Amino acid sequence: MRINIDECLFCLVDVQERLFPLVSNHEAVENNLLILIKGLQALKVPFIINEQYKKGLGDTIASIKELVKDEPHFEKLSFSICKNEATLDALKKSNKKVVIVAGIETHVCILQTCLDLIEEGFQPVLVTDCISSRSDFNNIMAVERMVQAGVIPTSYESILFELTVHSKHEAFKTISSLVK
């Protein structure tokens, strides 16, 4: 399935101050997320930012918080974003079919979100170099389960260029400079 920019929405899940430093390879994941977010913004893909129990886990990490401060934010207590009524309503009202997903932790909130997105009629696209868990094994197993369930795996560079389509796109130079 080709991913069409007009059908996409980006969902960032739980990249928060108190949990993010504990996940595997968090420095690389943070760098990848920054590139993905800047690229999707250049492509004008709409965003939904989700935060799990902010009182306990804190805000979105500072480097990303500044970039997404004007995007819609939703706080949740459930692991899946789809179990939050306001978030699910925003997803449905977006009229987008494809939800690009990134964040943490892969084996909990990302897994449950992607499985529920499928149940709700969306096609999740998982940016696999923009996710992580505290355990690499949990990350690997969750990705395997999601792919078997119908989630489309990709990388940040692949999704950015797929959405750009060709070098004549107005965001091509921005995307190219981000991924170098």
Q: Which of 109, 114, 129, 130 is catalytic?
A: 109
The CA distance from 152 to 86, in Å, is 25
The answer for residues whose C-beta is within 8 angstroms of residue 2's C-beta and 6 or more apart is: 162
Note if 83 is an active site residue: no
Residues 6+ apart with CB under 8 A from 100: 8, 9, 10, 11, 40, 45, 125, 127, 159
Please indicate whether residue 130 is annotated as part of the active site: no
Let me know if 119 is exposed, middle or buried by CB neighbors in 10 A (0-12, 13-18, 19+): exposed
- Say which of 8, 14, 82, 129 is annotated catalytic: 14
- Give the whole-angstrom CA distance, residue 114 versus residue 48: 14
In the block, residue with structure tokens 């690009």? 100
Question: Looking at 8, 11, 76, 130, which residue is catalytic?
Answer: 76
Which whole-number Å values give the CA distances from 154 to 12, 34, 51, 84, 159, in the listed order? 15, 16, 23, 26, 6
Q: Is 129 part of the annotated catalytic residue set? A: no
Helix axis angle for 156-164 and 26-42, nearest 10°, is: 10
Residues that are catalytic: 14, 76, 109
